Amino acid sequence: SQTIHQWPATLVQPVGSPLSLECTVEGTSNPNLYWYRQAAGRGLQLLFYSIGIDQISSEVPQNLSASRPQDRQFILSSKKLLLSDSGFYLCACILGTGNTEAFFGQGTRLTVV
Amino acid sequence: QKEVEQNSGPLSVPEGAIASLNCTYSDRVSQSFFWYRQYSGKSPELIMSIYSNGDKEDGRFTAQLNKASQYVSLLIRDSQPSDSATYLCAVGDNGSGNTGKLIFGQGTTLQVKP
């Protein structure tokens, strides 16, 4: 079965600092990968998704970017964090073609201060 | 704007009772529907998926889908205190082909009281 690794688990960063969150997947190849954000008391919002290496689609205009340099690696970045970037960041994976069920990593709780 | 609506709750039920969680969605062409359980401070965990009208049972959980009414529900039989969590309804977004994107509701908080 697949395993999704996300790190770090928690992060406190000052406003204006850069960000890099990493997600790696084991046990599968050519997965669809997603970054979701969950703000306090709110539902999950899709930020980016990727169906293959270097193929990134952005869902909402924002201060963040994503990259997929390898098949099973998905990175979320920012050059300068804003207070509004605080939230629970979740990486999700769908296993290959024809599957529809998404599984989540453990998440990174980001607090921008 | 495609939307998924859930009552935020909290829904409070006694231990051993049936908990009924409801969800409506706006996109008529949606084909895939999911229920996730999220404990406080943790990531969502997939508990049920359903694609066809009718009922789908898995242990104490039953998902029900009515595409004509754009309605999905989750029944939890013999509710246990360990079922206390937020339940997220998610609907597959078919707008851009089979990308696997999901639209989530805000979640319903379930409290099972001993």
The encoded tokens of residue A18 equal 């850069």
- A-chain residues within 8 Å CB-CB of B4? 43
- A-chain residues within 8 Å CB-CB of B107? 43
The encoded tokens of residue A47 equal 């930020």
**Cis previous bond, A69, omega within 30:** no
Place of tokens 């084909």: B31
C-alpha pair distances (Å), B15 with each of B81, B108, B110: 7, 18, 12
Position A100 confidence tier, pLDDT thresholds 50, 70, 90: confident
Residue A6 has pLDDT above 80, yes or no: yes
DSSP-derived pairing of the beta strands A32-38 and A44-52: antiparallel
The alpha carbon of residue A92 is apart from the nearest alpha carbon of chain B, in Å, by: 10
CA gap A47, B15 in Å, rounded = 38
Dump pLDDT digits (tens) for A56-71: 999 887 889 999 999 9
Selected residues 31-90 of chain B with any CB under 8 Å from a CB in chain A: 32, 34, 41-46, 49, 51, 88, 90
pLDDT for B95: 65
Find the helix or strand (DSSP H, E) in which A38 lies: strand A32-38
DSSP-derived pairing of the beta strands A32-38 and A87-94: antiparallel
The one-letter amino acid at B21: L
Backbone phi and psi for residue B83, each to the nearest 5 degrees, phi listed first: -80, -10
Burial A43-52 (b: 16+ CB within 10 A, else e): bbbbbbbbbe
A89 touches B at CB < 8 Å: no
The encoded tokens of residue A22 equal 């990493």
Give ∠ CA B65-B69-B75 in degrees, rounded to 5.
Answer: 35
Interface contact flag, B105 A90, Cβ < 8 Å: no
DSSP designation for B18: P
The rounded Cα A53 to chain-centroid distance in angstroms is: 15
Nearest by CB to residue B43, choosing from A42, A51, A106, is A106
Interface test with B, best of A1, A33, A44 (most B CBs within 10 A): A44
Decide: helix, strand or coil at residue B108.
Answer: strand
Q: What is the mean pLDDT of each run of 10 residues along chain B (114 residues)?
A: 90 97 94 96 96 96 97 98 97 77 94 96
Longest dimension (CA), chain A: 42
- A-chain residues within 8 Å CB-CB of B106? 42-43
Are the C-beta atoms of residues A87 and A39 closer than 8 Å to each other? yes
Interface contact flag, B100 A100, Cβ < 8 Å: yes
Position A112 confidence tier, pLDDT thresholds 50, 70, 90: very high
Mean pLDDT of chain A: 92
pLDDT for B97: 65
Beta bridge partners of B66: B71
The alpha carbon of residue A43 is apart from the nearest alpha carbon of chain B, in Å, by: 4
Interface contact flag, B105 A32, Cβ < 8 Å: no
DSSP-derived pairing of the beta strands A10-13 and A108-112: parallel
